[in-house]
Structure 1
Amino acid sequence: MQNWIDLFTTQMQQTTLLEWFAVLLGVAEVLLARKNSVWLYPAGIGGSAITISLLLKVGLYAESALSAYYVIMSIYGWYVWVRRSNEPPVQVAWATRQEWVITLLIAFAGWGIIYLLLHHYTSSTVPVWDAWVSSTAWAGTWLLARRRIENWVVLNVSNLFAVPLLFHKNLALFAALTIFLFVIAIFGFFDWRKIYNQHRATATA
C-alpha cells in the first residue's frame, strides 16, 4: 500500500500546469453533464484539445485519438442538444434497441480496429488495453451526445479499465480524475433517470 502512495505522491509532484488545467476542464465537463447543461461541451472541447498532446507524449495513441474524437463528438453533441431555435431540444431518454446495436458496434468493432492499428502502426506497449478503454469511451460519448441515460454506464466501463492504465503510464492526476468521473457517473445515471421520469410524468399529466 505504501508503495502505491509513494508512487502517487511522486507522480503528482511531476504533474505539469497544463495537466492541471486539462483535468480542471474535465471536472467542469462532467459536473455540467450531470446537471444536464449544454455548457459541458465547451469545457470538454478545451480539455480534450490539451489532453491530445499530453497523451501522445506518453504513447497512449488510442486515448489521444479518443480525445480528438471527443472534440468532434462535442461539436456534434452541442449541435444535437441545441438544434435550431425553432426545434425542440433532444430530451433525456433510454436508448432504443437500434441505438444499443450502434453502441455495441462502436465498442467491440472499434476495439478490434483500434487494436490492429495500434499493434501494426504504432509503438504502443498496451494496445489491447488502450484500444478497449478508447472504444468503450467512444460508445459512451455517442450515447451522451444522443442524451441517452445509459451513457453513464458505458462510460464507467471505460473508466474502470482506464484507471490502472493511466497509473501504469505515470499519469496519476488523470487517473485521479478518472476515479472522480467514475463516482460522478454513478450519480449522473440516477440524476438523468430522475429527469426522464419527471419529463414523462409531465407529459402524461
Structure 2
Amino acid sequence: MQLQEIFQQLIAGFKNATTVEYIAVITGIVSVWFSRLENIWVYPIGLVSTVSYVFLSFKYHLFGEATVNLYYTAMSIYGWILWAKRDQQAHHVVKISFSSRKELKDQFVFFGVFYVVFYSALRFLQNSFYPGTIPFGDALATATAFTGMLLMARKKVESWYWWLATNFASVPLYFIKGLTFTSVFYIVLFIMAIFGLIEWKKRAKENHA
C-alpha cells in the first residue's frame, strides 16, 4: 500500500468514524492522561471508553479486543476500589512501585497463558465462523492488555511496558479492519504511554526514597 493510499484511508476513516468510535477514542485518551497523573478519574472515564469499544469490537469481529474491553470494565472497577483506599492519614494505600523479580516472572507467565488461550480460541473462530479474524495480532494485543491492566490497578511501573506492546500491536490491527480513527488513537496512546512510563518511574523512585 502506497503512502498516498494510506493517507486517503486515514481521511476516509476520520470521515466515516461513528459517534461511538469518537466517544471511545476521546474518553480513552483522557483516561490515559489521568492514569499518567495517578488520578482516580482514570477509571470512571475509562469505563465509558471500554464499554464503547466492547460494542465496536463485536461489531467488527475483533473478539479478542471485545474480551479485553470486557476485562477492562471489570478491572476498572477493581482498580477504582484499590486506588480509592487510603490509610488513617488519608494517604494512598497502594503506591506506584517497581515489580520484584518474582512479580516480573509472574507477569510473563500470566501473559503467556492468556496469549495461548486467546490465540487458540481465535484460530478456532477463524476456521469455523469468522475468516476475517486475525489470531496472532488480536491475541497479542489482548494478552498484553490483560497484563497491563492488572498491573495498572496495582500501580506497577511495568504496566506501561505492557501498554506500549498493546498499543503497538493494535495500530495495524484496527487499520486493517478499517477503524482508521481508532488506529490513530493507538498511535497517540503509544506516545502517551512513553510519558506515562517516565512519570511513573520518577514517582516510584520518590516513593522508594
Both structures adopt the same fold (TM-score exceeding 0.5): yes
For residues 27-106 of structure 1, the aligned pairs below 5 Å read: 27-83=29-85, 86=88, 88-106=92-110
Matched residues in 1 for 2:190 and 2:75: separation? 20
What residue number does 2:142 align with? 134
TM superposition score normalised by structure 2: 0.91
**Identical residues among aligned pairs (%):** 30
For residues 99-178 of structure 1, the aligned pairs below 5 Å read: 99-121=103-125, 122-123=129-130, 124-178=132-186
Residue 84 (structure 1) shift: 5.7
Residue 85 (structure 1) shift: 5.7
Matched residues in 1 for 2:195 and 2:86: separation? 30
Residue 193 (structure 1) shift: 1.1
- Residues 97 and 208, structure 2, Cα contact 8 Å, conserved in 1: no
Secondary structure of the residue aligned to 2:93 is coil
- Residues 136 and 157, structure 1, Cα contact 8 Å, conserved in 2: yes
Larger mean CA deviation between 94-103 and 57-66 belongs to 94-103
- Residues 80 and 145, structure 1, Cα contact 8 Å, conserved in 2: yes
What residue number does 2:203 align with? 195
Matched residues in 2 for 1:102 and 1:59: separation? 30
- The one-letter code of the counterpart of 2:67 is A
Count, aligned residues: 201
Secondary structure of the residue aligned to 2:17 is coil
- Residues 118 and 139, structure 2, Cα contact 8 Å, conserved in 1: yes
Residue 32 (structure 1) shift: 0.2
Deviations 1:139-170 (A, max 9, x none): 11111111001111111011111101110011
- Residues 159 and 182, structure 1, Cα contact 8 Å, conserved in 2: yes
Secondary structure of the residue aligned to 1:36 is coil
